[in-house]
Amino acid sequence: MKSKLIILLMFLILLSPQIKADDCLNNYEMGNLLYEMDLYDEALECYNTSENNNAIIKKVQILLNQDKSKEAISTINKYMENNDDYPETIYYWLSRSYIINNELDKAENYAVKFNETQQMNPDSYILLGDVYYEKSREEKAKLQYEKAIELSPDYSLARYRLWNISAQIDEVKKWLRKYPEDNKARLILSDYYKENNKNEVSETQRLLSEGLNIDKHIADTLFYDGNLEEASLYYIKYLQQEPKNPESISNLIKIYLRMGERQKAKSIMETYPMTYDNLLLKALSERVQGNAKDAVFYYWKYIDNNKKNADAYVGVAYTYLAMGKNELASRDFKSAIFISPNYKDAYLGLLNSLEKQSKYEEMLDWSNIAMKRFENDKQILLYRARAYLEQDQSDLVLNILNDINFDKKELYIQAQQTKVISFIKKEDFKKAIIETEKVVDKVENNKLKYYKVLYLLYSNLDMNYNSNFYKEKINLYYNESWDVNEYNPDFIINLIK
């Protein structure tokens, strides 16, 4: 299918050196074609001149995906002023745009209008509930989510929204008995146990007696809670029992991809062969093989008909991240969070993408939101510390990191590096030395940069015996004659980074 789209697009480009607005007049399908291929600016040109009423909705979706809520609002209002005939869903998107822009009274006004015209549509009640939730009117929000469930009892999104306000634990258990593979519901159940200090093991055992496998349950919980390494061990254990479970196989592949272990992901595909016949599995298969563009294509073909699937948005976001398309990654991580507010891996991916874009203030905003959902999470706190570091707020960095015990080696090393840089910026070189020495003890390979840092720090303090000790290590172990006559703190910091 993708090759056909590419051939068609190439044919159109051959007909005209550029795809111009005039070429797209009344061509809503052309806009959709370009949209599916991530050519959003070109798609906007087509939608701008299309006479199809649905083009306005597509325009707004593109603008919201590009974090242009104000422009989306302006676009809709202008369209409504100039057109008497417009789709009723325009109220939905106008309300969503106002929610994103934090204009909640206006959002409520259009959510009510959408609800009045779509009273048999559960999304109209979810939208109204979302407005009330943002306005801290939780009881009214609950009422709307309950109405959505009455209309569509199997609509999981309505239940997630309701349980986000109040985890009605008996209802969650009943739902799990009906849909034992619902990972989101299981995560809500797990969060409930953590918050209320319940005995999760005994309760889990009771659930297992009704059809859940304990290894898979633990693996899924760890996976959606962002504990990828531990989750992988339980998935492997479960797959020894059920080697044909496609969900567990795909989750294990995702874990290895996110950990940068592509060879392990390939090995899992070979060990547990599946028929990659649905779009999500095709996307995953292309990611494993390193075909990022094809993976993106399949993800978006899937999302086109499954816009409420947070996993798909996270998958395409991580693919964009690997391609260096960090702005697109941020956009899709945010989409996943909007659909599934407790999806920890989406927050971690978002913070990673924002850091790559040097958007440190936004990192602080999103880490603050994440901390309210994942209290004292070490990875989130580390991202927060690094954002403060880039804003030269070393004291705040050290306040965050000094009280955390990073038991995982990778996180420990990252935290120590952040501490060292903070002390160097404060020109507290003695403490910088102490923290660097701790890193050297933990690092098994590639100690060279730390030896160089210690050599420079000791030299700066005129501690010649120690500086010569590390210079000899550099020359002896790395066969590298290395010397620096002039250096400053920034030079040392760049060595660490």
Tens digits of residue pLDDT in 23-57: 444 567 777 777 776 677 777 888 877 777 778 88
Question: Which CATH number characterizes residue 264's domain?
Answer: 1.25.40.10
Model confidence at 398: pLDDT above 50:
yes
The pTM for the full model equals 0.55
The residue type found at 420 is V
Compute the average pLDDT of residues 450-474. Answer: 82
In-domain check, residue 440:
yes
**pLDDT value at 16 more than 60:** no
| H or E stretch at 209 | none
Amino acid letter, 344: K
| H or E element that contains 154 | none
In a domain, 43, yes or no: no
Angle at 351 between CA 350 and CA 356, to 5 degrees: 100
Between 483 and 3, residue with greater pLDDT: 483
- Compute the distance between CA of residue 359 and CA of residue 326 in angstroms, rounded to an integer: 11
Count up the domains in the chain and report the number: 3
Note whether 189 and 260 are same-domain residues. no
Owning domain of residue 223: 213-274
Domain identity same for 192 and 220: no
Burial of 211 (0-12, 13-18, 19+ CB in 10 A): exposed
Q: Are residues 202 and 234 in the same domain?
A: no
Q: Is residue 132 part of a domain?
A: no
Residue 493 has pLDDT above 90, yes or no: no
One-character DSSP codes across 220-251: HHHHHTT-HHHHHHHHHHHHHH-TT-HHHHHH
Three-state secondary-structure class, residue 48? helix
Comparing 247 with 20, the larger pLDDT belongs to 247
Is 57 within a domain?
no
Cβ-based burial of 488 (10 A; exposed 0-12, middle 13-18, buried ≥19): exposed
pLDDT at 188: 75
- Quick check: 266 and 291 in contact, CB under 8 A? no
Give the contacts of 477 (CB within 8 A, at least 6 positions apart). 447, 448, 451
DSSP 24: G
Tokens of 475: 């020359």
Give the C-alpha separation, 298 to 48, whole Å: 26
Residues 190 and 219 grouped into a single domain: no
C-alpha to C-alpha distance for 280 and 302, rounded to whole angstroms: 7
- The answer to whether position 251 is within a domain reads yes
Considering the chain, what is the average pLDDT of its residues?
80
User: What is d(CA 439, CA 444) in angstroms, rounded to the nearest whole number?
Assistant: 10
Pair of tokens at residue 356:
């790559």
The answer to whether the CB of 255 falls within 8 A of the CB of 231 is: yes
Ranked by mean pLDDT, which of 106-110, 412-416, 441-445 comes out on top?
106-110
| The residue type at 477 | Y
**Could you read off the pLDDT of 344-391 as tens digits, one per residue?**
889 999 999 999 999 999 999 999 888 888 877 888 999 999 999 999
Q: What is the pLDDT of residue 10?
A: 45
| Tokens coding 315 | 């998958």
In the block, which residue shows the tokens 């995906």? 65
Q: How many CB atoms lie within 10 A of CB 220?
A: 26
Which of 274, 294, 318 is the last residue before a domain boundary?
A: 274
* Exposed e or buried b per residue across 444-470, where buried means at least 16 C-beta atoms within 10 angstroms of its C-beta: eeebbbbbbbbbbbbbbeeeeeebeeb
Asked whether the predicted pLDDT for residue 18 surpasses 80, the reply is: no
Residues 204 and 260 in one domain: no
- The answer to whether residues 429 and 460 belong to one domain is yes
- Cβ neighbours for 253, distance < 8 A, ≥ 6 positions apart: 265, 268, 269, 284, 288
Same-domain check for residues 172 and 220: no
Whether the pLDDT of residue 6 is over 60: the answer is: no
303 pLDDT more than 50: yes
- The 10s digit of each residue's pLDDT in 178-188 is 776 677 777 77
Q: Give the highest mean pLDDT range of 127-136, 250-259, 401-410, 435-444.
A: 127-136
479 Rama sector, left if φ>0, alpha if ψ -120 to 50, beta otherwise = left
pLDDT of residue 478: 62
Residue 211 is which amino acid? G
Decide which of 274, 303, 322 is a domain's last residue. Answer: 274
pLDDT score of 81 more than 90: no
For the chain, what percent of residues have pLDDT higher than 70? 85
Same structural domain, 203 and 220:
no
Q: Is 137 exposed, middle or buried (0-12, 13-18, 19+ CB in 10 A)?
A: middle
Task: Give the residue, 224 or 322, on which the prediction is more confident.
Answer: 322
Give the residue-averaged pLDDT of 307-316: 88
Tell me which amino acid residue 215 is: D
Would you say the C-alpha torsion 229, 362, 375, 223 has a positive or negative sign?
negative
Indicate if the pLDDT at residue 246 is higher than 50: yes
* CA distances from residue 464 to 150, 384, 422 in whole angstroms, order as listed: 77, 37, 24
Domain boundary among 209, 230, 264: 209
Angle between helix 489-496 and helix 409-425 axes, rounded to 10 deg? 170
The answer on 180 and 202 residing in a single domain is yes
Phi, psi (deg, nearest 5) at residue 484? -135, 125
pLDDT at 17: 41
DSSP string for 4-23: HHHHHHHHHHHHSSS--GGG
User: Does 74 fall in a domain?
Assistant: no
Based on the domain organization, do 411 and 468 belong to the same domain?
yes
Cβ proximity of 365 and 383 under 8 Å:
no
